[in-house]
Amino acid sequence: MRWGVAAGGAIGVALVPLVVLSAPTVVTAQTAEMEQGKRLYESQCGSCHGPLGNGGRGANLAQPRLRRASDDQALFNIIRRGIPGTEMPGSPLTPRQVSSIAAYVKTLGRVEPEDIPGDGRRGEAVFAALDCARCHTLGGRGGIVGPGLDDIGARRSAAHLREALLDPEASVPSGFLQLRVVTKDGRALTGFRVNEDAFSIQFRDLSGRLHSFWKYELDVLEQQWQRSPMGSYAARLTSEQTDDLVAYLVSLKGAQ
């Protein structure tokens, strides 16, 4: 729904050349493009990437170098087509609108980097002590109940990561669907969906075992959107440990 709402608005007004020359009028044109880019950014992107680009559900865009959008063309393509297999959607905007957003996104990179309190090295020890790897893979080791964390710091903002620890059900990644099933012979299982079609469903239980059922074998198939088996760590972490753990997660940027 978010898409296409603002797209129709005040656009058509500023048909702005991208390559600008140094004539005085161009300055206004450039400003108009930037304003359009800012408006579009706020309506189409801000909800995920944050009003200032610091990220949220989406990656932090307020940095000088973007991991996947390393040059102008890549940035344009990402905004146009999205990143398949992730929550980053493609958009129905015109190429010109996409260019204006791209120009605006580039200005976000000039802001000061986010100041993250906490000590990543101490956070690594907290991660080990709480056995987060029981459910999450990192560096090729660990469980598969939760999402892999190798590049979580590149995909999510500090604010989102903090929320994932303290209030996991407020920030469940789309695509993660918890299920409760009860089979006709009375077995009850909780897990998350791996695959589903009209007749069958495959899911992983919380120990990581894969199950496959025909739907007619099930008495109950309950979809628990926004539910998470990862309990809140609010009561188990001091605020200092939370800061340290967030700093550690932010440092996990994957292969650069």
Kindly list the residues in this chain that would bind ligand HEC in the complex (CB under 6 A): 44-45, 47-49, 57-59, 61, 66-69, 75, 78-79, 83, 86-89, 91, 101, 105, 127, 130, 132, 134-136, 145-147, 152, 155-156, 161, 164-165, 168, 171-173, 176, 228-230, 233, 245, 249
Taking the least distance from each CB to ligand HEC, the nearer of 30 and 143 is: 143
Measured from the CB of residue 139, what is the shortest distance to ligand HEC in angstroms? 14
Q: Which is nearer to ligand HEC, 14 or 191 (CB)?
A: 191
CB of 48 closer than 8 Å to CB of 160: no
Q: Please, which residues bridge with residue 223 across strands?
A: 179
Q: How far is the CB of 192 from ligand HEC (least distance, A)?
A: 6
Task: Using the minimum distance from each CB to ligand HEC, give the nearer residue, 54 or 171.
Answer: 171
> How far is the C-alpha of 192 from the C-alpha of 208, rounded, in Å?
10
At closest approach, how far in Å is the CB of 19 from ligand HEC? Answer: 21
Nearer to ligand HEC, 14 or 244 (CB): 244
- Under a CB-based contact definition with an 8 Å cutoff, are residues 240 and 119 in contact? no
In whole angstroms, the minimum distance from the beta carbon of 156 to ligand HEC comes to: 5
Residue type at 44 in one-letter notation: Q
Give which of 149, 141, 203 is closest to 176, Cα–Cα. Answer: 203
Supply the minimum distance, in Å, between the C-beta of residue 24 and ligand HEC: 30
Identity of the residue, 44 or 201, whose beta carbon is nearer to ligand HEC in the bound complex: 44
The Cα 160–Cα 56 span in angstroms is 5
Three-state secondary structure call for residue 104: helix
Helix, strand, or coil here: 222? strand
- With residue 46 as reference, give the H or E element that holds it: helix 46-49
